[in-house]
Amino acid sequence: MESIVFASNNSHKLDEVREKLKSFFEINSLKDISCFDDIPETADTFEGNAEQKANWVLEKYNYDCFADDSGIEIEALDGRPGVFSARYAGENCTYEDNNLKVMKELEGEANRNAKFVTVICLKLNGKTKFFRGEVKGKIISEFRGGEGFGYDPIFRPYGYDKTYAEMGIEEKNKFSHRAVALSKMISYLSNKN
């Protein structure tokens, strides 16, 4: 079976990706190719950051690969935290710090619309392709649920009465922003030949 690098060491993402791509590729992580670099993510778009990571692996290690970049965009905050989602409350901040910062910024704000975004950049056989997944919802005004990570406890997707953090990982992975982007990549891979 062909192998490809997924430019990540996040074990949750690797499990999900390995399961969903098992009929296409054997997936190698960054660790598997002995890449321990702190890969720069300095672009101001999800596409730019995903491509930066994918290019790093392709250019320095010479492997076909794909990379993802995700975050949450909040309408009333002009799209922030966006590409700064991981470190929104500052270097070394916790998920809770980020959530508290968002809550504070939205105090008294009626517009709670937000969306999670994932962009995957695939570099395969000399071609570059992008796949975008989005899930729209609202930022609620309290923390709810103990599953997941990041902004999950304050994000309630449209059509659900639970936050991402109140869903089990299985339910979330069926429709999450990452799952949507991944499904688009799978459709592309299925129709490519």
Q: Does 137 bind ligand IMP (CB under 6 A)?
A: no
Q: Which stretch binds ligand IMP (CB under 6 A): 31-39, 59-67, 69-77, 121-129?
A: 69-77
Q: Which DSSP state fits 108?
A: T
Minimum separation from the CB atom of position 192 to ligand IMP (A): 25
Total binding residues toward ligand IMP, as defined by CB under 6 A: 13
Question: So which residues are the catalytic ones?
Answer: 69
Closer CB to ligand IMP, residue 105 or residue 192? 105
Task: Please check whether residue 159 is in contact with residue 143, taking contact to mean a CB–CB distance below 8 angstroms.
Answer: no
- Please state, in angstroms and rounded to a whole number, the distance separating the CA atoms of residues 68 and 49: 8
Torsion of CA 164, 168, 171, 177, to 10 degrees: 40
- Please state, in angstroms and rounded to a whole number, the distance separating the CA atoms of residues 56 and 67: 10
Q: Which of 28, 52, 85, 163 binds ligand IMP (CB under 6 A)?
A: 85
- Record the tokens describing residue 183, joined without a space: 């499904």
- Please state, in angstroms and rounded to a whole number, the distance separating the CA atoms of residues 144 and 176: 18
Q: Which of 28, 29, 52, 70 binds ligand IMP (CB under 6 A)?
A: 70
Q: Which of 66, 151, 154, 185 binds ligand IMP (CB under 6 A)?
A: 151
Minimum separation from the CB atom of position 116 to ligand IMP (A): 6
Minimum separation from the CB atom of position 149 to ligand IMP (A): 6
Q: State which residue has the least CB distance to ligand IMP.
A: 150
Q: Which of 73, 152, 157, 185 binds ligand IMP (CB under 6 A)?
A: 152
- Please state, in angstroms and rounded to a whole number, the distance separating the CA atoms of residues 63 and 114: 35
Q: Which of 51, 64, 164, 185 binds ligand IMP (CB under 6 A)?
A: 164
How many other CB atoms are there within 10 angstroms of residue 40's CB atom? 10
Pairing of strands 113-124, 127-139: antiparallel
Q: Which residues are near ligand IMP by CB under 6 A?
A: 68-71, 85-86, 148-152, 164, 176
